[in-house]
Structure 1
Amino acid sequence: MEVLKMNSQKNWIVCCFFNFLIASFFGLLMRFMYLFPLDFINYSFLLHAHSHVAMLGWVYLIIYVLIVHFFIPKEKSQKPVYNRLFWCTQFSVIGMMVTFPIQGYALFSIVFSTMHILLSYFFCKLVWKDSFKEKTSANALLKVSVLFMILSTFGVWCLGPAVSTLGKQSAFYQIAIQFFLHFQFNGWFLFAVLGLFLKQFQHIIDAKIFRKFYFLLIISTLLTLSFPIRWFIDNNILNWINALGVVLQLIAFVYFYKMLLPHSSLFKTGLDKTTKMVYGLALCSLFLKIGIQLLTIFPNLVEVSHQIRNFVIGFIHLSTLGIITGFLFGIVLQNKMLPVNSSLMKLGIKCFIMGYIATELLLFCQGGLFFLGKGMIAGYYQSILAFSVLIVFGLILITTSIINKKQESIVS
């Protein structure tokens, strides 16, 4: 039974990286279309496919795998329900992968998206029932992440009434989308990866410091929802609420740093160079995100952050590729869930990181030039396309190394 469980989880991981590769290919195709328009492809439809597969096919499902692996007791995680639920969820992702590029938001894509949400509720129920027996810091973060995931979906359920009553251009519709995205990225995803990260510390975390970090981060997550709402509702009180939220977030992560500092040397001794590199990427991206959010205290930057698309895309990728994916890569590498000694794996991760850093620099530099009214970087679209190829190539190498390792284990 244990061997069966391990084989199932290896298949899950291959599937997650396949989804990530498809999502990155959609992103690459969008950047290709800036240089070479393809009339038979609808850009906005492709954008929907890219975002849904990245969020729900890569981040959601790899978190699913790691929660089952680290938080669900062995005797419960071996129940067939987890394997069946994973593949049902993957079926919904494939449905979105196919329907969104063809029709955008329409009947079939909405059916598959709704299916994913309903399956996620079932997953929450299973996790709530089968874990949380121990009162640990990691469990506390996971519990809140699950609650934030459920909360985020309230925004999705508001989209139908918003369209039928006020239309897609209304503030109600736009705020419902931002509500979903905010609590997905800053609630469900971030709290889940931080919980998984703390699970890797086999040391006693200072409970008093953790409680301060924990409650401040929850409060700041709730308060910073006011930032995207401010894009659609002109009210200065929202600026003050956001300012308080980002300051509390900064304080929360100061406590996070203090909490981990006594254990950092011992923790790093058990890591190889590649794992240290991706954890470093995640932590640097995290503190850069905090710094950028602190800048939103200045009212004139609120509008700019929304209007300059380069800033929006750069910030989203900072969260998804830098922080969330960085932590997830670190966790799977640290626990030998990927072939860490594979030369293909090491090269793939280096290519991915180089592509990520280069595209982020281009996005934020170009956004800064737009802000200053200085125009375009020479060869901007060609450069960002080339570095996006590096991200896709890195993921091809990583996925290939996982498949090769899986085949070797089957033969042996």
Structure 2
Amino acid sequence: MKLLSGMGSYKSWIICCFFNFLIASLMGLLMRYLYLFPLNVNYSFLLHAHSHVAMLGWAYLMIYVLIVRFYLPKEKREKPIYNQLFWITEFAVIGMMISFPIQGYALFSIVFSTMHILLSYVFCWQVWKDSFEDKTSDHKLLLTAVLFMVFSTFGVWCLGPAVSMLGKQSAFYQIAIQFFLHFQFNGWFLFAVLALFLKQFEDKIDKKAFKIFFILLIVATFLTVAFPVSWYLENNLLSWINTVGVVLQLAAFVYFYKMLKPQIVWFKVNLDSTTKMVYGLALCSLFLKICIQLLVLIPNLGEVSHQIRSFIIGFIHLTTLGVITGFLFGVLIQNKLLSYQSYLLRTGIKCFILGYIATEVLLFLQGGFLYFGKGALLGYYGWVFGTSILIVVGLSLITVSIIKTKNTYFQ
């Protein structure tokens, strides 16, 4: 069986990923609507659905598509296992999409999320086996991302024992969740999108600078987990470990810049304006993420960073919508898996970016108002709902543009 059941393209996979992203954004919009017009909807259940579909239905599956496309030899990626695995994983995502809003964390949602983890193990094993012979710099990042993916799930397997022994309010339970999220976002997702980005440089990067960047970033990723752990365990050592981790992360990205600097002019020459725009979004968001992690080293800011909700949401969206999605959009458009010639796509991308920037400004502004004791921002909930509509409209236009584009773009 050929990839995608004889279609000879990635189109149906990509449409599926954007469908998941659109559903997750609609759930997010509904959550913001509930602040303005309360409905008989369980906000907590909806939040679980939104986060799971965004992480596992969009980020995970889109990375899945691009890994198969760019890291597997043609004869390997045409193996039936990858197509079958994709659609079974999408079945698990749809299961979470339906079960979480209805019951929250309960039997069916736990079954589907566990199923997703087990399927991800199969994917990681297949990728490791089918692409191991590649020795490029970006491939080392990819294999590290795969290891972080597996490592992050240790936190999930601790949740059952944590609930049965100590309960959901225990520090152990909360730390297990933070462990999973930290190594998903800062390990699996970040390393995977950086690998895909560096892949576009055709291994022309400075090898010595890459080696230093690579080692520093791995060490920093392990050390910075101390920050979310410090929310539940009081120990001065944790803040020192996190400080070292954040400084090493900064050093890593200094080497990241040094590594790419000689190739930047060559790289930009081959990019259209839309690809430049989304890569710019990703790199600016990455820079802001590093700056925020440096800022929270200030004890007072570190203390409130996890207490002011808009700061938390702003930071999560900075990572997911800015860094991860920015790099994914860039790789997709650069390689014509999305057609930059489509007016609908270009308009959709602009709407999405405008909505993302506007909501981020509002979230951090609201957090700042609360931090300085100024109360709520005037008309905040209305403004954040209105700007979130732009994200939904943008993703709708992008999805329609993919459906309307001829299959030749997806070869």
Gaps of 5+ in 2: none
**Deviations for 1:20-63, whole angstroms, at most 9, x for unmatched residues?**
00000000000000000111x10000000000000000000000
State the alpha-carbon separation in 2 of the partners of residues 255 and 37 from structure 1: 49
Number of the residue aligned with 1:34: 35
Number of the residue aligned with 1:21: 22
Percent pairwise identity: 70
Contact 1:8 1:83 in 2 (8 A): no
Number of the residue aligned with 1:367: 367
How many residue pairs match? The answer is 409
State the alpha-carbon separation in 1 of the partners of residues 347 and 311 from structure 2: 29
CA gap of 1:174–1:237, structure 2 versus 1, over 3 A, is: same
State the alpha-carbon separation in 2 of the partners of residues 409 and 187 from structure 1: 31
AA matched with 1:384: V
Cα shift at 1:6: 5.9
AA matched with 2:123: F
Number of the residue aligned with 1:99: 99
Number of the residue aligned with 1:137: 137
Number of the residue aligned with 1:49: 49
**20-29 vs 296-305, which moves further:** 296-305
Does residue 10 of structure 2 align to residue 9 of structure 1?
yes
SS of the equivalent of 1:105 reads: coil
Cα shift at 1:132: 2.4
SS of the equivalent of 1:130 reads: helix
Contact 2:17 2:61 in 1 (8 A): yes
Number of the residue aligned with 1:152: 152
Runs of 4+ deviating beyond 2 Å: 1-8, 406-410
State the alpha-carbon separation in 2 of the partners of residues 321 and 197 from structure 1: 16
Cα shift at 1:202: 2.1
1:186-265 equivalent positions in 2, closer than 5 A:
186-265=186-265
State the alpha-carbon separation in 2 of the partners of residues 252 and 234 from structure 1: 28
CA gap of 1:126–1:219, structure 2 versus 1, over 3 A, is: same
**Deviations for 1:274-305, whole angstroms, at most 9, x for unmatched residues?**
10000000000000000000012112222200
AA matched with 1:336: K
State the alpha-carbon separation in 1 of the partners of residues 44 and 379 from structure 2: 24
Contact 2:138 2:203 in 1 (8 A): no
State the alpha-carbon separation in 2 of the partners of residues 205 and 4 from structure 1: 37
Contact 2:3 2:79 in 1 (8 A): no
Contact 2:3 2:9 in 1 (8 A): no
Contact 1:10 1:406 in 2 (8 A): no
State the alpha-carbon separation in 2 of the partners of residues 104 and 3 from structure 1: 33
Contact 1:175 1:228 in 2 (8 A): yes
State the alpha-carbon separation in 1 of the partners of residues 302 and 398 from structure 2: 38
CA gap of 1:161–1:396, structure 2 versus 1, over 3 A, is: same
Contact 2:3 2:83 in 1 (8 A): no
State the alpha-carbon separation in 1 of the partners of residues 400 and 201 from structure 2: 30
Does residue 170 of structure 2 align to residue 170 of structure 1?
yes
State the alpha-carbon separation in 1 of the partners of residues 409 and 301 from structure 2: 53
Gaps of 5+ in 1: none
Contact 2:96 2:109 in 1 (8 A): yes
State the alpha-carbon separation in 2 of the partners of residues 184 and 339 from structure 1: 29
State the alpha-carbon separation in 2 of the partners of residues 62 and 120 from structure 1: 13
RMSD, matched Cα: 1.4
Contact 1:359 1:384 in 2 (8 A): yes
